[in-house]
Structure 1
Amino acid sequence: MKFKSNKYSIDSTDYQVGQDNINKWGFDVHNTVFTVSVGLSILFIVTLLMLDPAVAKAGIDSIKGAVLSNFDFLFMWGANALLLFAVVIAFSPLGKIRLGGDNAKTDYSTMSWISMLFAAGMGIGLIFWGVAEPTAFFTNWYGTPLNVEAFTPEARELALGATAFHWGLHAWAIYGMTALCLAYFVYNKGLPLSMRSVFYPILGDRVWGITGDIIDIMTVLVTLFGLATSLGLGGTQAASGISHVFGVENSIYLQQSIIVLIMGLAILSVTRGMNGGVKLLSNLNMVIAFIFLGLIAALNFTTVLDSLATAVVGYVKNIIPLSQASGRDDTTWLHGWTVFYWAWWVAYAPFFGMFVARISKGRTIREFLVCVLVIPTVVTTLWMSVFGGVAIEQIIDKVGLLGAEQGITDVSLSLFYMLDAYPIGDILSVIAVVLIVVFFVTTLDSGSIVIDSMTAGGKLEVPMKQKIVWAVISGLIAMVMLWIGGTQSIQALQSITIIAALPFTIILLLGCVSLVKGLLTEVEKPKAAIK
């Protein structure tokens, strides 16, 4: 397959995946990428097991602190640049290009497609932070946005607006541009579903050698750590919810049991394939999520309408001040929240991007970017406004445990504390636990599919047992991290993800430049035909 313009050409036949693949025991994996990724993952785990968790965490946190302090501008302006890329490409003539070619058909309905990208992108995070984050901003738990005075009407507006900012357009631009880069080079240029493929217009044939191997290995490791961290957070919150509702001791054994259960369900989902597994669970997830959201909104209709309006106003009014990297007085809050979030989204982008690229064939670039940017932003803003607005109202009115404590004391329990204020609190808490579990399964399921594709040289179809292996490995990493230190280890893994996100921010920006070079070859086609 040739990809030509007046400046460069791509010949993906130079990359003979099968020649460098292991074909034993029914496996089909890229030798270098698979071996090095597994080896480094095991080395990381073994090293952490050998060290005192407190010492390991202190060392990792010191590196993370240096990254956040010295490179905050890169994260901030990188996110701004990716959003600008997305908007310009979507509304330029390049937006008319269809992923897969002019005659390509979509594999999934628009609703199923949106459900899958939403469930993979931020499912567990919304449940975990929906109450905790706006509450933290309102009560000055580790700083307030733009140094607004806590417990004031201005603090409420900024708390809801800043939360929408973190989960809105910037976040989905990071995700969307990564997914678009991969989808375009896979479906329009016939290259492997691999991060290395994005960089051919810049690096040429070097992407098929050691340079490309390094890019793919970095992608695998960032994805694996990001996935394991999300699983650890989900397991912790699910265990807290079960303990809170049913009175079971919230022990490490309960958390481990939940992860084992999730692994089993994810393996079952993997064996059922994309349609019978991820698609089915994602659609189920959306139904449960909107029922849950609808119940909370119905119980607090007036509060929800006001908080939604306040969130939108706070978001629009403060998007530019919150996007700035310099001249800020709220440095502690900026580093602890916004820079952390931008780094987190960058670290999670390869996983989300590769999964969404797999399911987005047949969409025009404009449709793809508009849907990925706008629809999830609207849903996340609605979600955060409902749960965050109700939680803040409970604090103001001193209702329930949140009101009594004047904020959050245990992040993993903040949602359940809010639900306790209702007569049907136990029922709502059970729904929340079910939602966490289903989000947990879809995250592990889609994550194992993505990592498997990366370690198989970018192939779309790989043996089933490989997907199962990665589902088990991802779950085991989360279990090990919880076992050796619980929350301390999860925080350390989050720090590792932030550190890894620093070079990946540069990679994503270069990927956008490479994408534009690739898209311009589509514009050159009519000229070539005339000649």
Structure 2
Amino acid sequence: MATTSDTSPDPAHSSGPANQGAWYQSVKPGVFWPSVIIIVVFALWAVFAPDTANEWLGEVSGGITQYFSWYYNFLVTAFVVFAIWVGVGHFGDIKLSPQDEEPEFSVGSWLAMLFAAGMGIGLVFFGVAEPLMHFDSPKPGVEGSPTELAEFSMIQTFLHWGLHPWAIYVVVGLAIAYMVHRKGKPISIRWVLQPLLGNRVKGVLGDVIDIAAVIGTVFGVATSLGLGVLQIAAGLEWINIIQDPGDLVYAVLIGLITAVAIVSVVTGVKRGIKWLSNFNISLAALIMLFVLVAGPTMFVLREFVQSIGLYLQNLLQMSFDTTAMQGSAGIEWQGFWQAFYWGWWISWAPFVGVFIARISRGRTVREFVGGVLLVPTIVTFFWFSVLGGSGLYREIFGDGGIIDAEEGVTQEGALFGLLETLPAGTILVGLAVLLIATFFITSSDSGSLVVDMLSSGGHTEPPKWSRIFWATAEGIVAIALLLAGGQAGLEGLRSAAIIIALPFSVVMILMCISTWRAFTLERRAFLRVQRRQQREELTEQVSQSLIDEGLVEPNDASGSTPGSGSGSGSGTGRT
């Protein structure tokens, strides 16, 4: 589908280089400074009053879980429906570029970058742990034999990592890609809502929208960085490089890896970020294939196919399951799992959405939805089948040992517990630590680039100083969240994700409405042009047919149709 599109960027928000003038002139003050103030205040609060911060985070996230978990479930499922609808319908032909351009990146590099940015650290962190945790401590109301619980654990994991999170990314990424690549707007969340809110997005309202996106991105990335550093520390302890890691070790690790991320983000998308994304996807594939070959290969392959069938069979029921009949136990489970995941994905949505929009120029809406929604989902399912399935096989049919009889499943150590049972286990653990570190880096550098673009007014190449600033800020927030969580550092991370997602979920609803309106207007314009062309072609064909049959003279047929009464002579144009 091709129609005339507005490709002139707003003069107040040029998307050109942001390196001219003084350093402070390269940012958008109404977005940059309020975001910095809010983040700094929170970080200082969490560092100097961690008990108070942790208590407040727990109370607020608990209230959201109790009163809004149903809303998260319903909303994220609605995003799945919306994503599929725009992908398979008439809107799928719309090109995410002003002309019929070729995509900027190859399919392989495109998928690697969006996958690494989308959920790289999370996949490594939860790949073995989550299926085993659902198996060891099932959702309230779920009962059965060990094999039945194992089946449930896999499809519950698939729900959390399948269509639903990627649909969230589709909603944000598609809306941004359309306005940036089709309409020539700067990379900013505010412009996504212009079809709905008009020029009001240029003022304070637009600043508030972008501030919410910046803060959500910083805290979402920080949550992932916190998870990653917990697992890196666990891996280093596993191979006896460090002992009893604590807050100081976590802070040092975050600092070291953030420093590497700064180097990557300074080099830009087409160099550091692209190379690292391709590297860690290749390393992840290598580890996964080794576990597949060295582990219970046939069991994993059979379980992969079976779990997909069970997932599709139970998708509708599980999507709307709010554990309403399980009382306080159900609410607690929702807060630890479902509400946390939906909140985590929504808090990541501005970052991942902007990033995949940035790398998706030249693709159609259908290609975008198919690439973002379906391909990563299938790969994710296979990842969990190989790692999680191997862990379940060992616990049910093998020697066990990953699930502790007293402590249950250690989230950050479950992966290493599985890898050490395989040939060359120590080497595998070392490679896994390297993989987590590279995913850590790609999450930080791409997140920093996105936040920098948002806070600089939509510049695609923001200045290097601000890229360094935001990469450092994400590391500091990750440290602050871990400190706020005390000994249970993950609780602070989970709570932050649930809280940040609530306000941005409202923005996402408006995004869906705005995208539908923009697509509808373009579709109508396309149909008007198409009908006009069809009328002109039909008129020309009929006129030529009348001339060929000798019913009218060539001069009489020009611009007339049968029975129109036009033309010269005594009505020779009539039949």
* TM-score range relative to shorter protein: over 0.9
* 1:448 is the counterpart of 2:448: yes
Assess, with a 3 A threshold, how the Cα gap between structure 1 residues 511 and 446 changes in structure 2: closer, same or farther: same
Matched letter for residue 108 of structure 1 = F
Show the 5 A alignment for 1:281-430. Answer: 281-299=276-294, 300-325=296-321, 328-330=324-326, 331-332=330-331, 333-397=333-397, 399-402=399-402, 405=405, 408-430=408-430
Assess, with a 3 A threshold, how the Cα gap between structure 1 residues 78 and 455 changes in structure 2: closer, same or farther: same
Matched letter for residue 300 of structure 2 = V
Assess, with a 3 A threshold, how the Cα gap between structure 1 residues 337 and 485 changes in structure 2: closer, same or farther: closer
Bigger mean CA deviation after superposition, 110-119 or 297-306? 297-306
Aligned-pair CA distance for 1:245: 1.0
Assess, with a 3 A threshold, how the Cα gap between structure 1 residues 27 and 119 changes in structure 2: closer, same or farther: farther
Question: Cα deviation per residue 1:228-287 (whole Å; 9 max; x = unaligned)?
Answer: 111111111101101111342124333233222212211221232212111111111111
Match of 1:88 among 59, 80, 85: 85
Report the identity percentage: 36
CA distance in 2, matches of 1:465, 1:304: 47
Instruction: Find the counterpart in structure 1 of residue 205 from structure 2.
Output: 211
CA distance in 2, matches of 1:409, 1:154: 19
TM-score (norm 1): 0.92
Matched letter for residue 192 of structure 2 = V
Show the 5 A alignment for 1:145-164. Answer: 145=139, 147-149=141-143, 152-164=146-158
Bigger mean CA deviation after superposition, 390-399 or 451-460? 390-399
Matched letter for residue 293 of structure 1 = M
Aligned-pair CA distance for 1:150: 5.8
Aligned-pair CA distance for 1:522: 1.7
Aligned-pair CA distance for 1:10: 11
Instruction: Find the counterpart in structure 2 of residue 521 from structure 1.
Output: 521
CA distance in 2, matches of 1:434, 1:150: 38
Show the 5 A alignment for 1:268-283. Answer: 268-283=263-278
Assess, with a 3 A threshold, how the Cα gap between structure 1 residues 135 and 493 changes in structure 2: closer, same or farther: closer
Matched letter for residue 352 of structure 1 = V
Matched letter for residue 93 of structure 1 = H
* 1:105 is the counterpart of 2:102: yes
Assess, with a 3 A threshold, how the Cα gap between structure 1 residues 272 and 366 changes in structure 2: closer, same or farther: same
Gaps in structure 1 of 5+ consecutive residues: none
Instruction: Find the counterpart in structure 1 of residue 253 from structure 2.
Output: 258
Which one has a bigger Cα radius of gyration?
Answer: 2
Assess, with a 3 A threshold, how the Cα gap between structure 1 residues 485 and 525 changes in structure 2: closer, same or farther: closer
Assess, with a 3 A threshold, how the Cα gap between structure 1 residues 526 and 310 changes in structure 2: closer, same or farther: closer
Alpha carbons 1:269, 1:277 under 8 Å: kept: yes
Question: Cα deviation per residue 1:297-334 (whole Å; 9 max; x = unaligned)?
Answer: 00121221232133213211221111114574352433
CA distance in 1, matches of 2:27, 2:246: 38
Show the 5 A alignment for 1:168-247. Answer: 168-247=162-241
Secondary structure of 2:413's counterpart equals helix
Secondary structure of 1:422's counterpart equals coil
TM-score (norm 2): 0.85
Instruction: Find the counterpart in structure 1 of residue 572 from structure 2.
Output: none
Aligned-pair CA distance for 1:39: 0.6
Aligned-pair CA distance for 1:425: 1.4
Bigger mean CA deviation after superposition, 408-417 or 210-219? 408-417
Alpha carbons 2:110, 2:359 under 8 Å: kept: yes
Match of 1:123 among 117, 120, 126: 120
Show the 5 A alignment for 1:33-112. Answer: 33-51=31-49, 53-112=50-109
Alpha carbons 1:346, 1:504 under 8 Å: kept: yes
CA distance in 1, matches of 2:187, 2:47: 34
Assess, with a 3 A threshold, how the Cα gap between structure 1 residues 506 and 365 changes in structure 2: closer, same or farther: same
Secondary structure of 1:103's counterpart equals coil
Assess, with a 3 A threshold, how the Cα gap between structure 1 residues 190 and 264 changes in structure 2: closer, same or farther: same
Matched letter for residue 434 of structure 1 = L
Secondary structure of 2:193's counterpart equals helix
CA distance in 2, matches of 1:27, 1:297: 53
CA distance in 1, matches of 2:83, 2:98: 20
Aligned-pair CA distance for 1:114: 0.1
Show the 5 A alignment for 1:457-496. Answer: 457-483=457-483, 486=486, 488-496=488-496
CA distance in 2, matches of 1:212, 1:362: 27
Question: Cα deviation per residue 1:466-492 (whole Å; 9 max; x = unaligned)?
Answer: 212211221222234445655545522
Alpha carbons 1:355, 1:446 under 8 Å: kept: yes
Assess, with a 3 A threshold, how the Cα gap between structure 1 residues 486 and 113 changes in structure 2: closer, same or farther: farther
Question: Cα deviation per residue 1:206-231 (whole Å; 9 max; x = unaligned)?
Answer: 11111111111011111101111111
CA distance in 2, matches of 1:306, 1:407: 30
Question: Cα deviation per residue 1:34-54 (whole Å; 9 max; x = unaligned)?
Answer: 000001111111222332x23
CA distance in 2, matches of 1:12, 1:341: 36
Matched letter for residue 120 of structure 1 = A
CA distance in 2, matches of 1:88, 1:192: 26
Alpha carbons 2:186, 2:457 under 8 Å: kept: yes
Assess, with a 3 A threshold, how the Cα gap between structure 1 residues 11 and 312 changes in structure 2: closer, same or farther: same
Secondary structure of 1:411's counterpart equals coil
Alpha carbons 1:394, 1:403 under 8 Å: kept: no
Gaps in structure 2 of 5+ consecutive residues: 534-575
Instruction: Find the counterpart in structure 1 of residue 550 from structure 2.
Output: none
Assess, with a 3 A threshold, how the Cα gap between structure 1 residues 12 and 101 changes in structure 2: closer, same or farther: closer
Aligned-pair CA distance for 1:177: 1.4
Aligned-pair CA distance for 1:335: 3.8
Bigger mean CA deviation after superposition, 306-315 or 446-455? 306-315
Count how many residue pairs are aligned between Structure 1 and Structure 2.
520
Alpha carbons 1:29, 1:456 under 8 Å: kept: yes
Alpha carbons 2:46, 2:483 under 8 Å: kept: no
Bigger mean CA deviation after superposition, 68-77 or 330-339? 330-339
Alpha carbons 1:90, 1:369 under 8 Å: kept: yes
Assess, with a 3 A threshold, how the Cα gap between structure 1 residues 146 and 476 changes in structure 2: closer, same or farther: closer
Assess, with a 3 A threshold, how the Cα gap between structure 1 residues 407 and 115 changes in structure 2: closer, same or farther: farther
Matched letter for residue 26 of structure 2 = D
Show the 5 A alignment for 1:21-32. Answer: 23-25=21-23, 28-32=26-30
Matched letter for residue 195 of structure 1 = I
CA distance in 1, matches of 2:401, 2:241: 17
Assess, with a 3 A threshold, how the Cα gap between structure 1 residues 34 and 361 changes in structure 2: closer, same or farther: same
Matched letter for residue 518 of structure 1 = A
Alpha carbons 1:340, 1:498 under 8 Å: kept: yes
CA distance in 2, matches of 1:298, 1:518: 49
Assess, with a 3 A threshold, how the Cα gap between structure 1 residues 404 and 255 changes in structure 2: closer, same or farther: closer
Assess, with a 3 A threshold, how the Cα gap between structure 1 residues 480 and 73 changes in structure 2: closer, same or farther: closer
Question: Cα deviation per residue 1:119-156 (whole Å; 9 max; x = unaligned)?
Answer: 0001000010011110011111xxx2462226522111
Matched letter for residue 169 of structure 2 = Y
Bigger mean CA deviation after superposition, 39-48 or 264-273? 264-273
